[in-house]
């Protein structure tokens, strides 16, 4: 029977049992998105490498514009025009100006740029400045963006598109990253068939493997499906034994409930010490969850029902991946008002799927009531809320914290 643990006890056991797996590999810049940096990135040069204009306008000495206004513009003699990508070979002298495009390099002597909207030419060799400016106006100084020798991306940063832009600006074509966590997904059960099969009788298609595959990949793992294994202890043992050789985390879908065909606990204990460390968590859905460790590898046994498996993986599978990688995956939370009462008195924490609706500038949380085997709950829900195990439920109009499944607002 189960030796049920609380959510907090489960998370603490995960942190204590599973230590980071940190293998470093080098990848090209175009393959770096979503990967985790294994080293600090230090700027190898100043960005920008020169003083440049942030607007289209005229490079000037700021003091030469003193007193300029629309009614009394200041005439400055026009000199050579600055071209993009070309270093100016001249210096700007007193009462001179030079046209400069956005991104152009300031010539020596210039310390500000007058926007083109505040200047006018009459083809007489002068530009008439209609607004006085201060030194530094409309100028990005050398090193303002990135300073040579400074850490610009820290170790353990998950590289996003903006970070790729920084690396490209520095001319860094390859980076050292941590290898992706290798995850194998094993489906078990005599009733499970492939998705291209026609179910007969009480058979069901293998939904869980694909749901968990998507979630594992969303969390940056190198995940793959192993296949479907019948409820046979020796077959399950052989499949898990091989999967453990080639992967860091093995996900076992099905076979964790108490019943005549419950081979999982016995098999996991056979695989090596310490074997099963958790069998049962005080949550709904997902009470019969299994967590094991054998031969230094992590194993998570999920409930068979899709909605249960999805929720458990979102919480405890994510926690195991975080422990094994030292990555922290930020969840997006929204405060919403409950549209109806939610009763709860099960002696365990309860995860309720939520559909969100924006109404008159306020988020409304609509609970989706249904059994854990209902596949439709997976796609209808925008997120979930957790009712603590000591609670008897939440009342209508209560402000609740909803954890989003998706990253969009």
pLDDT tens-digit profile of 63-78?
Answer: 999 999 999 999 999 9
Residues 132-176: pLDDT tens digits? 999 999 999 999 999 999 999 999 899 999 999 999 999 999 999
Which token pair is 396?
């209508």
- Which structure tokens are listed for 97? 């100006």
Question: Domains in the chain, please, with CATH?
Answer: 7-23+179-325 (3.40.980.10), 26-47+146-178 (3.90.105.10), 52-140 (2.170.190.11), 333-404 (2.40.340.10)
pTM: 0.79
The mean pLDDT of 97-115, rounded to a whole number, is: 97
| pLDDT at 409 exceeding the cut of 50 | no
pLDDT band at 374 (very low <50, low <70, confident <90, very high): low
E strand or H helix at 42: strand 41-42
Work out the percent of the chain whose per-residue pLDDT is above 70. 95
Average pLDDT over every residue of 90-101? 97
Q: Residue-wise over 233-256: b if at least 16 C-beta within 10 A, else e?
A: eeebbebbbebbeebbbbbbbbbb
Residues in the chain: 409
Give the model's pLDDT for residue 170: 96
Report the pLDDT value the prediction gives residue 407, as an integer from 0 to 100: 56
pLDDT at residue 261, as a whole number: 46
pLDDT computed for residue 115 by the predictor: 97
Enumerate residues 6+ apart whose C-beta is below 8 A from 255. Answer: 188, 189, 231, 236, 261, 262, 263, 264, 301, 304
255 band by pLDDT with thresholds 50, 70 and 90: low
Please give the mean pLDDT across all residues of the chain: 92
- Residue 183: helix, strand or coil by DSSP? strand
What's the pLDDT score for residue 22? 87
């Amino acid at each position: 029977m189960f030796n049920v643990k609380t959510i907090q006890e489960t998370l603490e056991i995960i942190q204590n049992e599973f230590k980071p797996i940190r293998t470093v590999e080098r990848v090209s810049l175009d393959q770096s998105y979503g990967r985790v940096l294994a080293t600090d990135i230090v700027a190898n040069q100043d960005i920008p490498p020169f003083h440049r204009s942030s607007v289209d306008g005229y490079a000037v000495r700021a003091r030469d514009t003193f007193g300029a206004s629309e009614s009394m513009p200041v005439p400055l003699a026009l000199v050579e025009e600055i071209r993009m990508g070309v270093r100016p070979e001249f210096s700007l002298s007193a009462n001179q100006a030079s046209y400069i495009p956005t991104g152009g390099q300031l010539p020596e002597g210039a310390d500000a740029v007058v926007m083109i909207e505040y200047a006018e030419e009459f083809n007489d060799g002068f530009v008439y400045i209609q607004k006085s400016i201060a030194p530094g106006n409309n100028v990005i100084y050398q090193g303002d963006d990135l300073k040579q020798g400074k850490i610009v991306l820290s170790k353990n940063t998950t590289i996003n598109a903006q970070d790729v832009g920084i690396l490209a600006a520095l001319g860094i074509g390859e980076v050292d990253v941590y290898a992706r966590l290798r995850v194998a997904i094993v489906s078990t059960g005599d009733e499970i068939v492939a998705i291209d099969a026609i179910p007969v009788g009480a058979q069901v298609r293998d939904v869980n493997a694909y749901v968990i595959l998507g979630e594992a990949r969303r969390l940056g793992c190198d995940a793959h499906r192993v296949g479907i294994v019948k409820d046979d202890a020796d077959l399950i043992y052989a499949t898990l034994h091989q999967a453990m050789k080639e992967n860091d985390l093995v996900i076992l879908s099905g076979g964790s409930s108490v019943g005549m065909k419950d081979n999982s606990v016995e098999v996991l204990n056979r695989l090596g010490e310490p074997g099963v460390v958790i069998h049962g968590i005080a949550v709904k859905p997902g009470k019969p969850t299994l967590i094991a460790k054998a031969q230094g590898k992590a194993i998570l046994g999920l409930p068979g029902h899709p909605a249960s498996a999805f929720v458990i993986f979102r919480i405890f599978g994510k926690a195991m991946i975080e422990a094994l990688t030292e990555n922290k995956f930020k969840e997006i939370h929204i405060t919403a008002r409950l549209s109806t009462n939610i009763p709860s008195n099960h002696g365990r924490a309860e995860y309720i799927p939520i559909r969100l609706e924006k109404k008159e500038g306020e988020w409304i949380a609509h609970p989706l009531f249904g059994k854990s085997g209902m596949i439709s709950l997976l796609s209808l829900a925008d997120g979930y809320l957790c009712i603590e195990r000591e609670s008897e439920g939440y009342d209508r109009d209560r402000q609740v914290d909803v954890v989003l499944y998706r990253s969009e607002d």
